[in-house]
Structure 1
Amino acid sequence: MSFTVAIVGRPNVGKSTLFNRLAGRRLALVDDQPGLTRDRREAETEIGTCEVTLVDTAGLEPGDTGLTARMREQTEAAIAQADLVLFLIDARAGVIASDEIFAELVRSSGKPVVLAANKCEGRAAEAGLYEAFALGLGEPLPISAEHGLGIGDVSVAIEDACLAKGEGQESGQGAEADAEADEGPHALRIAIVGRPNVGKSTLVNALLGEERMITGPEAGITRDAIASEIDWDGRPLRVFDTAGLRKKARVEGKAEELSVGDTLKAIRFAEVVVLLLDAETPFEKQDLQIAALIAQEGRALVIAVNKWDLVREREKRLNELREACERLLPQVRGVALVTVSAKSGKGIDKLMKAVLAADEVWNRRMPTHALNQWLAAALEAHPPPARSGRRIKLRYMTQANARPPTFVVFCSLPKALPDSYSRYLVNGLRESFDLPGVPIRLNLRKGKNPYAKDS
């Protein structure tokens, strides 16, 4: 079982930088702006002989209402679930009132604590390092997360705490169990994306069955793309809650630029992307641009219309949405459109069935002989146009790849084949081989049928 370490402290002391350093890869967003991290982010890593789950948390700030209070609740939940609390202060700023308040919070939790004084790369930090003793959390470890100084001491402290709890394993032990675990089905990667304030975090909380993500009426609460592991009817899933995507011209500040970059990374990493729309304002220009981006990246797509509990004349409205979907998103014709209420949890089962079905289509492969029988029929029904009096011959077809379905057609004049005819072939493939809602790649190559006999 993994040993959980929660990294806590006030804003802008370097928690996310230390999280990335210990995880060995850049996962959390990092910037000089305080308060960039809001939701909890987790990462699995190995420290010495220990399997460790690192938890990056929001900066602790005084406050009993609004977003600050909800961020503090998430940090307190992380402390409650942790096996070890890694309390971080800024040595250059010294110990301030907020540090003392939250040190008391950590002490009252009764959890083992490692105190680290960050930004100790210069002599200016010496006074703050000595002040840290007054927090009553033991001897502070001088570190610089940005420059990698003292990280070994932090790792040793984490490993010692892990071994003290009996969670470590001798070198070589557990390898067989790990190998057996790896043989199970991989976690299906699902990204929840959409415009700000359409209910993405609320939907993820509904899937998890707990208030894991911070939610509220404010737009743009989520900044990091946060991954959560769940099991759905025996299928492991890895669900990414992402920041809302606004029009490029409306993106303000470096924090939002970083959030957008993290969301785009989540889309590229995902296998299925759920595009969440607001039932009151669906299919706005930004929604269509996000859908086009998902198709361009080759991901399977499911469209979910949230806040359906607020809609009147639902049957009429649903028919209008389906017509608009077919008309506005021809590149993913047949995409599943599911109505949900993330707040009440209604429609979640249908949504997950649509997600699993989209993944099956995205991974589907067709036999070559069936493709070539279909190609012959398509050519007979509608031959390609001639170019400068020369016939364009489509000789042979095969599926080169799945994820998404990708086909190669060997053609006598590939550059001369009109785009309209390529669309005719793609639409025919989608209809004949039941490939709804996924982008289809069709590549034209000049070459001979490899199965044709030499004359």
Structure 2
Amino acid sequence: MSFTLAIVGRPNVGKSTLFNRLVGKRLALVDDQPGVTRDLREGAAKLADLRFTVIDTAGLEEVTDDSLQGRMRRLTERAVDMADVCLFMIDARVGVTPSDLVFADILRKRAANVILAANKAEGKAGVAGVLEAYSLGLGDPISLSAEHGEGLHDLYTALLPIAEKFEERAEEDAPETDVDLTEEEAEDEDFDAIPMPTRTKPLQVAVVGRPNAGKSTLINQILGEDRLLTGPEAGITRDAISLRTDWNGVPMRIFDTAGMRKKAKVQEKLEKLSVADGLRAVKFAEVVIVLLDAEIPFEQQDLRIADLAEREGRAVVVAVNKWDIEENRQEKLKELKEAFERLLPQLRGAPLITVSAKTGRGLDRLHDAVMRAYEVWNRRVPTAALNRWLTGMLEQHPPPAPQGKRIKLRYMTQAKTRPPGFVVMCSHPDKVPDSYSRYLVNGLRLDFDMPGTPIRLWMRGQNEANPYKGRKKAQPSKLRKHTEGRRKD
């Protein structure tokens, strides 16, 4: 049993920088602007031989109302209650502020274990701030430089006795290991079978969409708790936060991403970082939920986001949020389906689910659609069935003969899954028109029940046993001399 460490403190004291250093990756967004972090971000930390969970929190503000800063503070206080250890960070170059005194008093009452750290203590500029930190009454402060990696040995020394205490408790409470579970998970690695999500390899799901579409509210409803910061303001989420959960018994890791506006409107550096973080989440996901606003669905940016997920080869589910406030639902649903088929032909057949993130209505149908999309995304078709199907498609609609060259499609096989990819061995692969490739892809979707998932189709030339192919013809003069020489001999 490892322990949980929450990094807390005022805005812009270097919490996210230390978080990135402990997890060994640039997971949290870092900028000189204060208040970048808003949600709680968890990561697997490593410090020498210590392994623990670290939580990056929003900067503590002296606000207790329902404003954005007040909601951020309540979320941070919740992290303090969840964590086994709190690392309270101050800025050594600024020294102890009145806010630090208030928050130190809160931690003294709410946290079981508190470690005080004075960050940005490199050089002589931070010496006075480190000495001033003793006035907080939280023990000896640790001199840190999260940016340069200084003082991590002192942090290790402070965490070691806490880690040993949790290890002793874990040994006492450790249950007997279940061997059958390991064998079950080993069976999931079968190449031909669809790999079912496990706790070690959960299903990766990313929720993407425009700002204020309700992505964080939807994930909170799935989790059953207010884990992510929400509100009427657009653009609250900045980091791509990953959260583990069991959604209807299926282990999943759900990514909440920042709202993606049109590229021309994204001017600030911080928003560019947020969008880039969301795009990375799409690349790592297996299923992407494109969340639309029922009031203004299928705007240009929605189409771009859905097309991005298709180009990345992810399984796509389209969800229409705020359905609880829609009045003419049947008429609206018919319009949505018509617009979906017209505007996103590359995702023909993908599920379109209406949900209400606020009330939780439609979440069961959304879960079923996600699992269905994942199953289709992993589907494998036998080679014999593919070639029987290809013969029928050729008889129904033979390929054209561009420039008088007849194209022969000889055989077909599935090369990969996730998404399904097929290879057709043929003559003159560069002459096969795109329209004929689309004809085959649409036939695969329909006949092998693969709606909505991206399908990749490659035309490959077949090596012909012709030893003279590609050779230059012999010159007549050289051929004549060669023949005359043989006659003389």
User: Which bracket does the TM-score occupy, shorter chain normalised?
Assistant: over 0.9
- What SS does the aligned partner of 1:43 have? strand
Shift of 1:105: 1.2
1:35 alignment counterpart: 35
**2:137 corresponding residue in structure 1:** 136
Supply the distance in 1 between the matched residues of 2:437 and 2:394 (Cα, whole angstroms). 12
Q: Report the Cα offset of residue 122 of structure 1.
A: 1.2
Following superposition, the deviation at residue 356 of structure 1 comes to: 0.7
Q: Residues 2 and 167 of structure 2 are in contact (CA less than 8 Å); yes or no, is this contact kept in structure 1?
A: no
Contact 2:58 2:76 survives alignment (8 Å): yes
Alignment of 1:43-62 (within 5 A): 43-47=43-47, 50-62=50-62
Mapped pair 1:342 → 2:343: no
> Unmatched 5+ residue regions in structure 2?
187-196, 466-489
- How far did residue 110 of structure 1 move? 3.6
d(CA) in 1 for partners of 2:305, 2:397: 34
> What is the CA-CA distance between 1:396 and the residue it aligns to?
1.3
CA contact (8 A) 1:410 1:448 kept: no
Which of 377, 380, 389 does residue 404 from structure 2 map onto? 389
* One-letter code aligned to 2:420: P
Show the counterpart of 1:280: 295
The CA deviation at 1:104 is 1.1
TM norm structure 1 = 0.95
SS at match of 1:287: helix
TM-superposed deviation, 1:59: 0.5
Q: Distance in 1 between matches of 2:44 and 2:70?
A: 27
Equivalent residue, structure 2, for 1:13 = 13
Take 1:175 and 1:160, find their aligned partners in 2: how far apart are those partners?
Answer: 26
Per-residue CA deviation, residues 188-215 of structure 1 (Å, 9 max, x unaligned), is: 0000100000000000000000010110
Q: Which residue of 2 aligns with 1:102?
A: 103
Match among 435, 439, 442 for residue 457 of structure 2:
442
Call closer, same or farther: CA 1:348–1:11 in 2, change over 3 Å.
Answer: same
Deviation at 1:155, TM superposition (A): 2.6
Quick check: 2:223–2:247 contact (8 Å CA) kept in 1? no
Q: Secondary structure of 1:216's partner?
A: coil
Letter in 1 for 2:147: E
- Does structure 1 retain, via aligned residues, the 8 Å contact 2:86–2:111? no
String of CA shifts for 1:428-454, please: whole Å, max 9, x gaps. Answer: 11111111111111111111599xxxx
The change in CA–CA distance for 1:56 and 1:168 in structure 2 (over 3 A counts) is farther
- Mapped to 1, the partners of 2:140 and 2:101 lie a distance apart of 15
Q: Check 1:413–1:36 CA distance in 2 against 1; reply closer, same or farther (3 A cut).
A: same
Residues 324 and 167 (structure 1 numbering): CA distance in 2 closer, same or farther, change over 3 Å?
A: farther
* Cα distance in 2 between the residues matched to 1:319 and 1:155: 60
Q: Which has the larger radius of gyration?
A: 2
Distance 1:400 1:153 in 2: 53
Unaligned runs of 5+ in 1: 451-455
Q: Distance in 1 between the 2:159 and 2:96 partners?
A: 23
Superposed CA offset, 1:57-113 (max 9, x none): 001111123100000000000000110001111111111111111111111114201
Q: What's the CA shift for 1:167?
A: 5.5
| 1:105-151 deviation per Cα after TM superposition (whole angstroms, max 9, x unaligned) | 11111420111111111101100010111111111111111111111
Query: Is contact 1:247–1:286 with CA below 8 Å preserved after alignment?
Result: yes
Structure 1 residue 391, shift from structure 2 partner: 0.5
CA offset digits 1:166-194 (Å, max 9, x no partner): 46879xx9998899497582210000100
Secondary structure of 1:124's counterpart equals coil
1:154 Cα offset (Å)? 1.3
Structure 2 vs 1, CA of residues 448 and 396 (structure 1 numbering), >3 Å: closer, same or farther?
farther
**How far has the Cα of 1:50 moved from its partner?**
4.6
Query: How many residues are aligned here?
Result: 448
Q: Does 1:263 align with 2:278?
A: yes
CA change 1:175–1:9 in 2 (3 A) is: farther
The residue number in structure 2 matching 1:453 is none
Aligned residue number for residue 152 of structure 2: 151
Specify the SS of the correspondent of 2:125: helix
- TM-score, scaled relative to structure 2: 0.88
Does the residue aligned with 1:131 lie in a helix, a strand or coil?
helix
Matched letter for residue 310 of structure 2: A
Q: Kindly, what percent of the aligned residue pairs are identical?
A: 59
Q: How does 1:421-440 map to 2 (within 5 A)?
A: 421-440=436-455
Secondary structure (helix, strand or coil) at the match of 2:122 reads coil
> SS at the partner of 1:104?
helix
Cross-structure match for 2:254: 239
More off after superposition, 62-71 vs 214-223? 62-71
* Post-superposition CA distance 1:234-259 (Å, at most 9, x none): 21010111100000011131111110
Tell me which amino acid in the other structure corresponds to 1:15. K
Deviation at 1:44, TM superposition (A): 2.0
After the TM superposition, which residues 154-193 of structure 1 pair with which residues of structure 2 at under 5 Å, given as runs?
A: 154-166=155-167, 180=182, 185=198, 186-193=201-208
* Counterpart-to-counterpart distance in 2, 1:287 and 1:109: 44
Equivalents in 2 of 1:31, 1:174: separation in Å? 44
**Counterpart AA for 2:114:** V
Of 402, 412, 421, 2:417 maps to: 402
Structure 1: which amino acid aligns with 2:45? T
SS at structure 1 position matched to 2:153:
helix
- Whether the 8 Å CA contact 1:49–1:159 is kept in 2: the answer is no
Q: Which amino acid aligns with 1:37?
A: T
Counterpart check, 1:25 vs 2:40 = no
Amino acid at match of 1:105: I
Q: Is 1:373 paired with 2:388?
A: yes
User: What amino acid does structure 2 have at the position aligned with 1:32?
Assistant: D
